[in-house]
Amino acid sequence: MTKVYDESDLRAKPGGHGMFKHYQVAVKRVMAELSDDRLEKAKETAGEWSNNFPPPEIQAQVAHKKGPAYMEHFSKEMWRQCRMRVLVMSAWKNDEGEVLFRMHDDNKALGDRDSFMKMKDLEGGH
């Protein structure tokens, strides 16, 4: 996909909203360039990952690259849909097997701009 993007005349930021309108075209181009063997292997891998989980090294890469954005999105949606403040604590193994820890408090950006840790009563609300 990166090669297709680099060779194209697209000027949208990778991962940005502008990329979505070009995504399917790029996928079709990549798929058309695959040999039958590689296409079959890609289908097997997609089926395996859909039915199970990606291998640990891929999970570690996704946790590092996308984990913070997933946590931020979750926090914002909980505030928007439920007016609920969320503090996300996460732990995962990186690709070297080291356990990493993160606490994600996005509450300053929401509502009245109080962080979760500054709330008066953590037991029973605000």
- In the numeric block, which tokens belong to residue 115? 């962080």
Q: Which of 30, 24, 38 is CA-nearest to residue 4?
A: 30
pLDDT tens-digit profile, the chain (126 residues): 455 555 555 566 666 667 777 788 888 888 899 899 999 998 888 888 888 888 888 889 999 899 999 999 998 899 889 988 888 899 988 888 899 998 888 887 776 666 666 666 655 555
**What's the confidence (pLDDT) of residue 54?**
86
Q: What is the DSSP string of 52-103?
A: S---HHHHHHHHHHHHHHHHHHHHHHHHHHH-----EEEEEE-TTS-EEEEE
Residue 5 backbone phi and psi in degrees, to 5: -65, -45
**What's the confidence (pLDDT) of residue 8?**
56
Is residue 89 within 8 A of residue 75, CB to CB? The reply is: no
